[in-house]
A and B are shown apart, each in its own frame.
Chain A
Amino acid sequence: MHPDDLSFIFLNAFIINNFVLAFFLGLCPFLGVSAKIETAWNMGLATMFVMLVSSLCAYGVNILLVKFDLEFLRLICYIAVIASAVQLVEITIKKISPVMFRALGIFLPLITTNCAILGLALFQTFKEYNFLQCLAYSAGAGAGFTLALMLMAGLRVKLDLADVPSISQGSAISFMLAGMLSLTFMGFAGLGGH
């Protein structure tokens, strides 16, 4: 597969270079909201949605910045764009579907400070992706984030029943679990090397 193929870009962000397990992006929600499978699913969906929206916004903003030779303002603009995109998504969901808003609403403010969103915008700029590639990349990143969150939630539900030493309760054991998940995902490396 060629590195510029849409399917490959999706797969790359989805499992090979998973945002959480390979780049450590979005660790705060990964550890904070992964106690229950259902919340993890909703958080994942909300993040994926915001990722798609903010990635496209960032793509547009970057074109403008490059056109006017203002690349040094990129970071400030991205941050502002992402914050407003999250607000916009929140208002839109509230108007269109109150049911969905009840499920996702509380997660949206959390997402504003999620480094995975900013990381996505920065990485797609570094890799110089075009419009469709950005779309595939953000879809892959969002799906990958959801997958990692769901797997972690599944593990932690089991962990509740396990008898672990008292000192390893809390975040220490979560990090060890995340390490093992990350180790497993290393098996996907090399998928595109043929």
Chain B
Amino acid sequence: MIRTLGLIAMISGLLVVMVVKYTDPIIKEKERLALEQAVFQVIPSVDAKTATRVSFALNKDGLKRLDEHEGAGEANMYAVYDDAGKLLGIALQAAAQGYQDVVRTLFGYNPDCQCIVGMTIMKSTDTPGMGDKHTLENNKAFMANFTALSAALATDQSKLAHPIEAVTHGTKTDPWQVDAISGATISSRAIAKGLNTSAQKMLPLVTHHLPVLLHNSHQANER
């Protein structure tokens, strides 16, 4: 009995390992391309052919440049450089509870204007036709919120000067406000809330490490 079970376990182990070994590089490459596409999408003025993306792990302990193949899992920040090694922008992840489940987004931050310059939805299971990825991203007026959304830091550089917030449709007055879609207020609010949480936590760190990030561009160029 034990021998039979061992045989079955061996057969199944062999099959699984073979398939995993074969598909793993393909999967990694596809994931990498999908991520790269999303990152380039949120940073305008990027030329996808010449730009370089570098992954970083950024937290309170410091900034760590990650190898493209080994540390892809722990990356939480992506910097994009053009072919001359100039920093074009930084892409960060955000998440907040939406209508049905968590809405995950990726947004682009430009340190020159201290603002959010692009946003794309990675995952949303909110009501199709109202709060899903397709509908939200095709709403030009809503997406226009994220072309120059102010994310300037307060003077002590520990938090945002003004928290990013969603306001009722048609009442946007300040550059740090998001004009919500009427009928998908909760989804809009979730996106704004996710951006705010992530920006409050990450942007002070990004600003702190900005000289290094600019410096890294030379390495990116040399490669």
Q: In the complex, are there CB atoms of A and B closer than 8 Å? A: yes
Q: How far, in whole Å, are A41 and B165 apart by their CA atoms in the complex?
A: 45
C-beta contact mask, A1-42 vs B, less than 8 Å → 1, else 0?
Answer: 111000010001000110000000000000000000000000
Given contacts A73-B16, A190-B186, contact A3 B99 (CB under 8 A): no
Query: Which A residues from 167 to 194 make CB contacts under 8 A with B?
Result: 189-190, 192-194
Residues of chain B within 8 A (CB-CB) of A76 are 12, 16
Cβ distance A76 to chain B, nearest Cβ, rounded Å? 7
B189 to chain A: closest residue by CB: A193
* Interface majority SS (helix, strand, loop, mixed), chain A: loop
Residue pair A3, B102 in contact (C-beta under 8 Å): yes
Interface presence of A72 (CB below 8 A): yes
C-beta contact mask, B95-115 vs A, less than 8 Å → 1, else 0?
Answer: 111111110000000000000
Which residue, of B97, B98, B186, has the highest number of chain A Cβ atoms within 10 A? B97
Residue pair B16, A72 in contact (C-beta under 8 Å): yes
Interface presence of B92 (CB below 8 A): no
Partner of B100, one of A2, A8, A16, A73: A16
Residues of chain A within 8 A (CB-CB) of B189 are 193-194
Cβ distance A186 to chain B, nearest Cβ, rounded Å? 9
Cβ distance B73 to chain A, nearest Cβ, rounded Å? 10
C-beta contact mask, B15-34 vs A, less than 8 Å → 1, else 0?
Answer: 01100100000000000000
Q: How far, in whole Å, are A16 and B190 apart by their CA atoms in the complex?
A: 16
Residues of chain B within 8 A (CB-CB) of A193 are 97-99, 186-187, 189-190
Residues of chain A within 8 A (CB-CB) of B100 are 16-17, 189-190
Contact residues on B (Cβ < 8 Å of other chain), bracket: 10 to 19
Residues of chain A within 8 A (CB-CB) of B16 are 72-73, 76
Q: How far, in whole Å, are A1 and B12 apart by their CA atoms in the complex?
A: 44
Cβ distance B71 to chain A, nearest Cβ, rounded Å? 14
Q: How far, in whole Å, are A16 and B16 apart by their CA atoms in the complex?
A: 36
Cβ distance A39 to chain B, nearest Cβ, rounded Å? 31
Residue pair B101, A17 in contact (C-beta under 8 Å): yes
Partner of A3, one of B17, B20, B96, B127: B96
Cβ distance B128 to chain A, nearest Cβ, rounded Å? 12
C-beta contact mask, A72-91 vs B, less than 8 Å → 1, else 0?
Answer: 11001000000000000000
Residue pair B97, A2 in contact (C-beta under 8 Å): yes
Which residue, of A3, A12, A76, has the highest number of chain B Cβ atoms within 10 A? A3
Given contacts A193-B186, A193-B189, contact A3 B97 (CB under 8 A): yes
Cβ distance B103 to chain A, nearest Cβ, rounded Å? 9
Cβ distance A30 to chain B, nearest Cβ, rounded Å? 21
Q: How far, in whole Å, are A72 and B189 apart by their CA atoms in the complex?
A: 37
Which residue, of A2, A72, A190, A194, has the highest number of chain B Cβ atoms within 10 A? A190
Q: How far, in whole Å, are A17 and B102 apart by their CA atoms in the complex?
A: 11
Residues of chain A within 8 A (CB-CB) of B96 are 3
Q: How far, in whole Å, are A73 and B14 apart by their CA atoms in the complex?
A: 11
B190 to chain A: closest residue by CB: A193
Residue pair B99, A1 in contact (C-beta under 8 Å): no
Q: How far, in whole Å, are A148 and B20 apart by their CA atoms in the complex?
A: 38
Residue pair B99, A190 in contact (C-beta under 8 Å): yes
Cβ distance A24 to chain B, nearest Cβ, rounded Å? 14
Q: How far, in whole Å, are A101 and B97 apart by their CA atoms in the complex?
A: 40
Q: How far, in whole Å, are A76 and B20 apart by their CA atoms in the complex?
A: 14
Q: How far, in whole Å, are A68 and B190 apart by their CA atoms in the complex?
A: 37
Q: How far, in whole Å, are A8 and B101 apart by their CA atoms in the complex?
A: 11
Residues of chain A within 8 A (CB-CB) of B98 are 193
Apart from A72-B20, A194-B189, what are 17 other A-B pairs with CB-CB below 8 Å? A1-B97, A12-B101, A16-B100, A17-B100, A72-B16, A72-B17, A73-B16, A76-B12, A189-B99, A189-B100, A189-B127, A190-B100, A192-B97, A193-B99, A193-B187, A193-B189, A193-B190
Can you name 12 A-B residue pairings with CB atoms under 8 Å? A8-B97, A17-B101, A72-B16, A72-B17, A73-B13, A76-B12, A190-B99, A190-B186, A192-B97, A193-B97, A193-B186, A193-B187
